[in-house]
């Protein structure tokens, strides 16, 4: 059997394969394009395409596809085979540079938010050579960006690459000021920790809510949930272990650095974390990971749920976006250095993040906003909808000392003077890990914890990279003009801490009193739901910043806002309709049927002997009948709320109507149904219960 190092990346056209299969000259040109962004000429493209095809065919591939990330949140592919007829009646395998570089999928069925007129259905995909091509299902997949014919981005990769480029430009300006003339690029790095649930396929198939919406819309609390904390880091069950083993092997072949796996807090919940890599690759890899998690599950008779809140009453699933900035020479800019000068540089980059998170709290909140993630944020299992930063005791003390010109009570008691003192290394404080913080510094990286498990990490990183690029731009503008760099630097750091310290918070983020303090005293945003936050995407300051760094055009921002609200409305609508249908066709017949059975049994007893007691039957019949009426009423009222959505004048109004009426009625209906579940004969209940689902995988 092959060992992991032997098969790792075997399905990836990575640097090793390029070196081995391209001429020196072609390899060098391609490398320049990958590392330096230089344009690729068609001769090189042809040579690369030919080598890719030969390699792919040798690995069993028959097709190729431009693989892209439209605004649906999942990836898209359209396969073309390599075959071309040869004169003798056979075929040869062909793939040209043109086909590698550019594709023209019919874009008319992807969301564009009004960017693309219906008569102009064409969109085009353009090869992104910074993410390696790979083979999946006998198809050579070429990572691409997806744009409209007019050049507007219709995907998540294009703005991500633009945001990474913006940060690169501004960070290099800062590094030059510190005398660093060797670094050629600064890239952000991400390691996304992915949570998910596994349930059996057999039970999944019996629940229309899971099949249509990815979450349970009904379900009474089981006697045992996560209160014993016995699942977290618990021994992995054999069936799950077999799943994880196959998942790892599949991911490794695709060059994905799957590293850590463990059971999570809720029963049936697990986590997978890869080793971090550049944000662009991490994004592609995370999309692939989510897809493969689901595929491998089906081979094991399981279903992998990536929804943020598949079960009420136990923890939902998130995704922690571990983020840092690094030079091409391997220096992590969020790591305190060995010399005073490096420390000052570290503090400046730290300030850039602090200011970015404060100035663009709203954009960070927006970047994780979906109907499904609204169930988690602020629900005491995930960070609140209020964004704040946790730095840990030591770093907080350092910043306070700088701000107030006070001695720093670290190793020695002395005043900190940037450019002179060496800061201590901020090793991750294991005793004081604040898990309730949405944005925590963990030694040499920040961990943004508001992402939902199904979110593409592109969105969060687009906003994060852009916002940090903006702080760095301001700093570079100021420092480049300074007469005395060190004095100006010290003043800038001090001022930034003073102006942005309201975003720093070390306490319990789940606490109600924090939400009050954050909003009332500190003036931080608290956008609880998607309709609350999404319109702020178009606030003047946000449009100004994102267009200035060329991450989005104004038209693109309008279209994205529209699409995100549309996605919100569509997903809740589907849930509401599924609920109404399940209530009418599954739950009401079960409740009423069981009441009828009990009534019949009471009648039979009475017929036998009119003195026989029937209190149990009659009381239960009474309760069930009352509940059935109540369920029928709530169903009707939910249906009416869905219908009245037609009256909403625009998508924003519809989103608010969903928040204020549809979601409220869904809760009412669920409450009545869940109560009915607790008194209905299990044999009559038309679907697997929470107990079955959460403890069903042996």
Q: Does 445 bind Mg ion (CB under 5 A)?
A: no
For 117-186, the DSSP string reads -TT--BEEEEE-TTS--EEETTEEEEEEEEEETTS-B-BSHHHHHHHHHHHHHHHHHHHHHTT--S---E
CB of 271 to Mg ion, least distance (A): 9
Short-list 98, 144, 97, 260, CA closest to 191:
260
Partner that binds at residue 324, options Mg ion, ligand ADP, none, CB closer than 5 to 8 Å by kind: ligand ADP
Q: Does 392 bind ligand ADP (CB under 6 A)?
A: no
Q: Quick one: which of 101, 141, 190, 697 contacts ligand ADP (CB under 6 A)?
A: 190
CA distance linking residue 163 with residue 550, whole number of Å = 8
Q: Does 445 bind ligand ADP (CB under 6 A)?
A: yes
Most distant CA pair in the chain: distance in Å?
105
Q: Quick one: which of 75, 131, 370, 444 contacts ligand ADP (CB under 6 A)?
A: 444
CB of 634 to Mg ion, least distance (A): 39
CB of 276 to ligand ADP, least distance (A): 3
Per DSSP, the chain holds a count of helices (H) and strands (E) of 24, 19
CA distance linking residue 130 with residue 15, whole number of Å = 11
Short-list 627, 641, 654, 630, CA closest to 577:
641
- Please check whether residue 265 is in contact with residue 228, taking contact to mean a CB–CB distance below 8 angstroms: no
CA distance linking residue 469 with residue 451, whole number of Å = 21
Within residues 246-305, the interface with ligand ADP by CB under 6 A covers 260, 273-276
Q: Which is nearer to ligand ADP, 272 or 666 (CB)?
A: 272
- Among the candidate windows 153-161, 186-194, 373-381, 468-476, which touches Mg ion by CB under 5 A? 186-194
CB of 19 to ligand ADP, least distance (A): 26
CB of 190 to Mg ion, least distance (A): 12
Q: Quick one: which of 136, 270, 320, 665 contacts Mg ion (CB under 5 A)?
A: 320
E strand spans, 338-438: 389-390, 407-409, 413-415
Q: Which is nearer to ligand ADP, 193 or 470 (CB)?
A: 193
Q: Which is nearer to Mg ion, 264 or 470 (CB)?
A: 264
Q: Which is nearer to ligand ADP, 302 or 333 (CB)?
A: 333
The size of the interface with ligand ADP (CB under 6 A), counted in residues, is 15
Q: Which is nearer to ligand ADP, 260 or 622 (CB)?
A: 260
Stretch 207-246: interaction string toward ligand ADP, x if CB under 6 A: ----------------------------------------
CA distance linking residue 431 with residue 438, whole number of Å = 18
Q: Quick one: which of 46, 226, 287, 322 contacts ligand ADP (CB under 6 A)?
A: 322
CB of 443 to ligand ADP, least distance (A): 8
CB of 162 to ligand ADP, least distance (A): 21
Partner that binds at residue 438, options Mg ion, ligand ADP, none, CB closer than 5 to 8 Å by kind: none
For the chain, the residue count is 698
Q: Which helix (H) or strand (E) holds 648?
A: none
Partner that binds at residue 47, options Mg ion, ligand ADP, none, CB closer than 5 to 8 Å by kind: none
CA distance linking residue 360 with residue 682, whole number of Å = 51
Q: Does 253 bind Mg ion (CB under 5 A)?
A: no
φ, ψ (nearest 5 deg) of residue 240: -70, -40
Q: Quick one: which of 62, 278, 332, 434 contacts ligand ADP (CB under 6 A)?
A: 332
φ, ψ (nearest 5 deg) of residue 450: -90, -10
Within residues 55-84, the interface with ligand ADP by CB under 6 A covers none
Q: Does 319 bind Mg ion (CB under 5 A)?
A: no
CB of 452 to ligand ADP, least distance (A): 17
Count of CB atoms situated within 10 Å of the CB of 39 = 8
Stretch 192-211: interaction string toward Mg ion, x if CB under 5 A: -x------------------
Q: Does 437 bind ligand ADP (CB under 6 A)?
A: no
Stretch 113-132: interaction string toward ligand ADP, x if CB under 6 A: --------------------
- Among the candidate windows 316-324, 359-367, 558-566, 615-623, which touches ligand ADP by CB under 6 A? 316-324
Count of CB atoms situated within 10 Å of the CB of 30 = 21
Count of CB atoms situated within 10 Å of the CB of 7 = 13
* Whole-number CA gyration radius for the chain: 28
- In sequence order, what are the beta bridge partners of 123? 148
* Residue 408 exposed, middle or buried by CB count within 10 Å (0-12, 13-18, 19+): buried
- Please check whether residue 343 is in contact with residue 176, taking contact to mean a CB–CB distance below 8 angstroms: no
CB of 271 to ligand ADP, least distance (A): 8
Partner that binds at residue 189, options ligand ADP, Mg ion, none, CB closer than 5 to 8 Å by kind: ligand ADP
CA distance linking residue 201 with residue 207, whole number of Å = 10
Q: Does 420 bind ligand ADP (CB under 6 A)?
A: no
CA distance linking residue 528 with residue 515, whole number of Å = 11
Q: Does 371 bind ligand ADP (CB under 6 A)?
A: no
Q: Does 167 bind ligand ADP (CB under 6 A)?
A: no
Q: Which is nearer to ligand ADP, 273 or 662 (CB)?
A: 273
CB of 384 to ligand ADP, least distance (A): 19
- Please check whether residue 403 is in contact with residue 501, taking contact to mean a CB–CB distance below 8 angstroms: yes
CA distance linking residue 602 with residue 613, whole number of Å = 9
CB of 145 to ligand ADP, least distance (A): 23
CA distance linking residue 14 with residue 8, whole number of Å = 11
Partner that binds at residue 276, options ligand ADP, Mg ion, none, CB closer than 5 to 8 Å by kind: ligand ADP
Residue nearest to Mg ion (CB): 320
Residue nearest to ligand ADP (CB): 191
Partner that binds at residue 690, options Mg ion, ligand ADP, none, CB closer than 5 to 8 Å by kind: none
SS3 track for 200-214: EHHHHHCCHHHHHHC
E strand spans, 405-492: 407-409, 413-415, 439-441, 446-452
- In sequence order, what are the beta bridge partners of 148? 123
- Residues found near Mg ion in the complex (CB under 5 A): 193, 320
- Residues found near ligand ADP in the complex (CB under 6 A): 189-191, 193, 260, 273-276, 322-324, 332, 444-445
């Amino acid at each position: 059997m092959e060992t992991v190092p032997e098969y790792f990346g075997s399905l990836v056209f990575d640097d090793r394969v390029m070196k081995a299969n391209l001429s020196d000259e072609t390899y060098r040109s391609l490398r320049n394009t990958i590392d330096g962004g230089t344009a690729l000429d068609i001769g090189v493209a042809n040579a690369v395409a030919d080598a890719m095809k030969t390699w792919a065919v040798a690995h069993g591939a028959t097709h190729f596809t431009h693989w892209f990330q439209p605004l649906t949140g999942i990836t898209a592919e359209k396969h073309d085979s390599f075959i071309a007829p040869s004169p003798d009646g056979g075929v040869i395998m062909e793939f040209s540079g043109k086909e590698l570089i550019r594709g023209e999928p019919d874009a008319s069925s992807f969301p564009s938010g009004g960017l693309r007129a219906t008569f102009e259905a064409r969109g085009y995909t353009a090869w992104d050579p910074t993410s390696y091509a790979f083979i999946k299902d006998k198809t050579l997949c070429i990572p691409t960006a997806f744009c409209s014919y007019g050049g507007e981005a219709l995907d998540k990769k294009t703005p991500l690459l633009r945001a990474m480029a913006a940060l690169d430009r501004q960070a290099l300006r800062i590094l030059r000021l510190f005398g660093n003339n060797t670094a050629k690029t600064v890239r952000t790095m991400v390691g996304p920790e992915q949570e998910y649930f596994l349930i059996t396929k057999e039970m999944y198939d019996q629940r229309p809510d899971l099949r249509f919406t990815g979450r349970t819309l009904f379900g009474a609390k089981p006697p045992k949930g996560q209160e014993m904390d016995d699942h977290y880091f618990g021994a992995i069950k054999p069936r799950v272990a077999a799943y994880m083993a196959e998942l790892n092997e599949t991911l490794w072949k695709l060059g994905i650095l799957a590293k850590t796996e463990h059971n999570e807090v809720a029963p049936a919940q697990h986590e997978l974390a890869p080793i971090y890599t550049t944000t662009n690759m991490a994004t592609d890899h995370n999309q692939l990971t989510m897809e493969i998690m689901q595929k491998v599950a089906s081979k094991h008779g399981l279903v992998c749920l990536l929804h943020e809140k598949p079960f009420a009453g136990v923890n939902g699933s998130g995704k922690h976006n571990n983020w840092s900035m690094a030079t091409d020479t391997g220096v992590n800019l969020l790591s305190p250095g060995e010399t005073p000068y490096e420390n000052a540089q570290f503090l400046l980059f730290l300030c850039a993040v602090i200011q970015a998170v404060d100035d663009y709290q709203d954009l960070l909140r927006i970047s994780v906003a979906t109907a499904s993630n609204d169930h988690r944020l602020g629900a005491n299992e995930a960070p609140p909808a209020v964004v704040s930063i946790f730095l840990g005791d030591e770093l907080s003390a350092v910043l306070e000392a700088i701000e107030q010109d006070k001695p720093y009570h670290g190793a020695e008691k002395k005043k900190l003077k940037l450019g002179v003192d060496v800061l201590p290394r901020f090793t991750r404080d294991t005793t004081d890990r604040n898990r309730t913080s949405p944005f925590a510094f963990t030694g040499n990286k920040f961990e943004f914890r508001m992402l939902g498990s199904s979110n593409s990490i592109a969105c969060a990183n687009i906003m994060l990279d852009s916002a940090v690029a903006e702080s760095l731009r301001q700093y570079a503008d100021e420092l480049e003009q300074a007469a005395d760099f060190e004095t100006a630097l010290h003043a800038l750091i001090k001022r930034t801490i003073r102006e942005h310290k309201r975003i720093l918070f070390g306490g319990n983020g789940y606490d109600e009193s924090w939400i009050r303090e954050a909003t009332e005293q500190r003036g931080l945003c608290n956008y609880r739901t998607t309709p609350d936050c999404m319109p702020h995407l178009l606030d003047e300051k946000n449009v100004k910043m994102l267009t200035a760094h060329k991450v989005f055009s104004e038209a693109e921002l309008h279209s994205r806002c529209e699409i995100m609200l549309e996605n919100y409305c569509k997903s809740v609508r589907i849930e509401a309709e599924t609920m109404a249908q399940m209530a009418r066709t599954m739950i009401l017949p079960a409740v009423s049927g069981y009441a009828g059975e009990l009534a019949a049994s009471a009648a039979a007893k009475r017929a036998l002997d009119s003195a026989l007691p029937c209190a149990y039957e009659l009381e239960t019949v009474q309760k069930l009948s009352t509940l059935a009426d109540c369920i029928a009423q709530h169903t009707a009222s939910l249906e009416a709320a869905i219908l009245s959505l037609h009256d909403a004048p625009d998508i924003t109004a519809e989103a608010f109507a969903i928040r204020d009426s549809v979601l409220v009625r869904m809760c009412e209906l669920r409450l009545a149904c869940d109560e009915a579940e607790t008194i209905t004969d299990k044999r009559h209940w038309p679907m697997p219960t929470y107990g079955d689902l959460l403890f069903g995988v042996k």
